[in-house]
Amino acid sequence: MEFRTLALYPFLKESSQFVKERQLGLDDLLKGSMMAEARRRGKARVMEAIRDLTVPNAPVTSEDEAVQEIMSYPYARILVSCIGDDVLVRRYALAEAKAFNERLRREEMTTVVALALELEVEAVHVDDMLRMHFADFLNYTSGLRGPEWKLVNQDLRDGYVQLEKPKFVRVLEQALDDRIEDELPIPVNDELLTAVEKDLEEIAAALAEYKEKYRDDGFGEVSILKFPPCMKKMVAMAQAGQNMPHAGRFALASFLSFIGMPVDDIIKLFCSSPDFDQSKTAYQVRHITGDGYGKKYTPPECATMRTNGICFEPDELCNNRRVSHPLTYYRIKTYDKGREKKETKPPSAPSK
Ligand code: SF4
């Protein structure tokens, strides 16, 4: 592959080979002045993953720049491993996978297939269409909800599922996400920690800021003050690590997604559950929220919540205004808050 392509996909064996040919090792990456740009780019990968759930699209105009860009990937992995935090691993993996998806959508079919094979996804390019072995399709779509991901709804030919490019690429995104999550953190020693400590300080601060932003009542733009009692109760249960029935998890995850909480933060909320299984939770939450691709589930209405025993402590608003859906409760509260603000706003000065 051409050096610009290798720089876009630094996890490829061919990309590592490209760098190996220049006889660059770990010591060069950690300390060498020639690799300062790779370290800068590597740190930027992690910082942007934390802040914006993406990785930078750094320009590559020469082979030397391609080397720096490729080496930024192992450096980023070292930084993530040194921090050793599950939330960071998940966020970083997802950011790399999403950037991969965006880049791959612009590639020729042959490159898409080559990258699929690199991820050990059995794929072929036939008559201008992409096909993936059904076992790989099943493996990586088990976390994607919606009829469009069900095997029975696929065009299955000789054991291969024929897919449109965006869907094919979406499956590969999942494959890369899983791979990075499985690989990280890599083992680190004191020497490694000392070598990167300066960069770690900034990353640890950004991570702490990110976690703080979505802790407690804030939820970023989302305000728990407007939550109906059932959802408040379930947030408290999740934060306290209390076991929650499946129906409760479904209702809470779909509610939070609907009011705009990022998927990653919903997953994080469930981290305190006693039976928390990171990859299973991530799959379940992505199922429910659609994760921008599959079907996005609506939270159940109050009648269903009652039947499932999760209509906790309905308050005056639930009873008086005959709220029939938790989202209606949230909307009424949002509307009331907006009105309160307007009414308490000082009157503007009369024009002269
Ligand atoms: S009535 Fe509806 S909104 Fe109110 S607590 Fe019960 S389920 Fe939640």
Q: Which of 226, 237, 323 is the pocket-test mutation for ligand 1 (most atoms within 8 Å of CB)?
A: 323
Q: What percent of the chain has pLDDT over 70?
A: 87
Asked if residue 318 has its Cβ within 6 Å of ligand 1, the reply is yes
pLDDT in the model for residue 214: 57
In terms of phi and psi (left: phi > 0; alpha: psi -120 to 50; beta: otherwise), the region of 96 is: alpha
Q: What is the 8-class DSSP label of residue 160?
A: E
How far apart, in whole angstroms, are the C-alpha atoms of residue 94 and residue 176?
A: 9
pLDDT tens digits for 174-201? 899 989 989 999 999 999 999 999 999 9
How far apart, in whole angstroms, are the C-alpha atoms of residue 74 and residue 76?
A: 5
Query: Which residues partner with 131 through β-bridges?
Result: 124, 162
How far apart, in whole angstroms, are the C-alpha atoms of residue 82 and residue 190?
A: 10
Q: 10-21: buried (b, 16+ CB within 10 Å) or exposed (e) per residue?
A: bbbeebbebbee
242 CA distance to ligand 1 middle (Å): 20
CA 326 to ligand 1: nearest atom: 3
How far apart, in whole angstroms, are the C-alpha atoms of residue 326 and residue 107?
A: 43
Model confidence, pTM: 0.64
CA 329 to ligand 1: nearest atom: 3
Confidence band (pLDDT; 50, 70, 90) for 53?
confident
Do residues 303 and 247 lie in contact, with contact meaning Cβ atoms separated by under 8 Å? no
If we measure between CA atoms, which residue out of 145, 143, 40 comes closest to residue 94?
Answer: 143
Q: Would you say residue 213 has pLDDT above 70?
A: no
For residue 282, how many C-alpha atoms fall within 13 Å in the half-sphere facing its CB?
16
CB atoms under 10 Å from CB of 52, counted, come to 10
Asked if residue 326 has its Cβ within 6 Å of ligand 1, the reply is yes
pLDDT tens digits for 125-143? 988 889 999 999 999 887 6
Asked if residue 227 has its Cβ within 6 Å of ligand 1, the reply is no
Q: Kindly give, in sequence order, each residue whose CB lies less than 8 Å from that of residue 343, ignoring residues fewer than 6 positions away.
A: none
Q: Would you say residue 79 has pLDDT above 80?
A: yes
Q: Would you say residue 262 has pLDDT above 50?
A: yes
In the predicted model, what is the mean pLDDT of residues 321-344? 72
Confidence band (pLDDT; 50, 70, 90) for 284?
confident
Do residues 234 and 244 lie in contact, with contact meaning Cβ atoms separated by under 8 Å? yes
Q: 290-307: buried (b, 16+ CB within 10 Å) or exposed (e) per residue?
A: bbebbeebebbebeebee
CA 310 to ligand 1: nearest atom: 7
Asked if residue 302 has its Cβ within 6 Å of ligand 1, the reply is yes
Q: Kindly give, in sequence order, each residue whose CB lies less than 8 Å from that of residue 334, ignoring residues fewer than 6 positions away.
A: 226
Q: Would you say residue 23 has pLDDT above 90?
A: no
Return the SS3 of 281: helix
pLDDT tens digits for 292-326? 555 668 899 999 999 999 999 899 888 876 788 99
Cα 195 to Cα 134, 201, 210: the distances in Å are: 45, 12, 25
pLDDT in the model for residue 195: 94
For 70-143, where are the E strands, in sequence order? 123-126, 129-133
pLDDT in the model for residue 345: 46
299 CA distance to ligand 1 middle (Å): 11
| Burial classification of residue 179, based on how many CB atoms lie within 10 Å of its CB (0-12 exposed, 13-18 middle, 19 or more buried) | middle
113 CA distance to ligand 1 middle (Å): 49
Return the SS3 of 223: coil
Asked if residue 116 has its Cβ within 6 Å of ligand 1, the reply is no
Return the SS3 of 232: helix
Return the SS3 of 319: helix
Q: Which of 302, 315, 334 is the pocket-test mutation for ligand 1 (most atoms within 8 Å of CB)?
A: 302
214 CA distance to ligand 1 middle (Å): 24
